[in-house]
Structures are given as structure tokens and as C-alpha cells.
Amino acid sequence: MFVGGMVPTELTEPLDPHRLAMRGTQAPRPHCVALQGRVGESTACRIYDRRPSVCREVTPAWEFGTPNPQCDKARMAYGLEPLTPEDWFDPSGSNTPPLSQNA
């Protein structure tokens, strides 16, 4: 069964009577249950195509030319430096969304 047709129910927990959150995101040191890998080395969302709207709305800082304080805060919580415009590059030179060099 899926919540809203997207997120697998078993990966969620009640936030309040009307909302759900991804398991692990309400912990003192949040770590989403769907995040695989090691933060600071290599990570990926194992439900990326079905990720919740809150995840869809948060873009990495400077990915599209704008800062993102929420991204910076999440990175700093894990001892990582905030991303800067210099962290992004377009390997094809075709003005496609850039790739992070150290995300």
C-alpha cells in the first residue's frame, strides 16, 4: 500500500493525526530511512521516483543558481560545508542542470 500513491507506507511514521513523515526524519539527528549510503561520501534516495513532496521541493544549494539555507543546515548537521556555486559544473557545456562535484 502507498501513501498518496507515492511513498511506501512502511517507510513512514505518524507526525500528527493528519500527517506522516518519513521514518527517521524526526530523530534528534535526522536520517531518512530511504537514504542509502554514507552521508559525506555517497548517498542516494532508494525511492527517488516516489519521494515525498517535501523532498521534491528541497533542491541542493546553488543547483539552479540560488542558495538554499535548508540544504546548508542539513549539510552542516553532518559536518559538511555548505555547497557553493563553484561546487557545480556542466560537463556537457549544454546548459543542462549541472552535476555536483561534492554533493
Residue 2 included in any domain: yes
What value, to the nearest 5°, has the Cα angle with vertex 9 and ends 6 and 13?
120
pLDDT in tens, 16-42: 999 999 999 998 888 899 999 998 889
Q: Are the beta carbons of 37 and 26 closer than 8 angstroms? A: no
Co-location of 5 and 52 in the same domain: yes
Q: Is 53 helix (H, G, I), strand (E, B) or coil?
A: helix
The answer on 72 and 34 residing in a single domain is no
Same domain for 3 and 15? yes
Q: 88-89 and 35-38 as β-strands: parallel, antiparallel, unpaired?
A: unpaired
Domain that holds residue 12: 1-57
- Tens of pLDDT, residue by residue over 57-90, are 888 999 888 999 999 998 998 899 999 988 887 6
pTM of the model: 0.69
Residue 26 to residue 39: CA distance in whole angstroms: 17
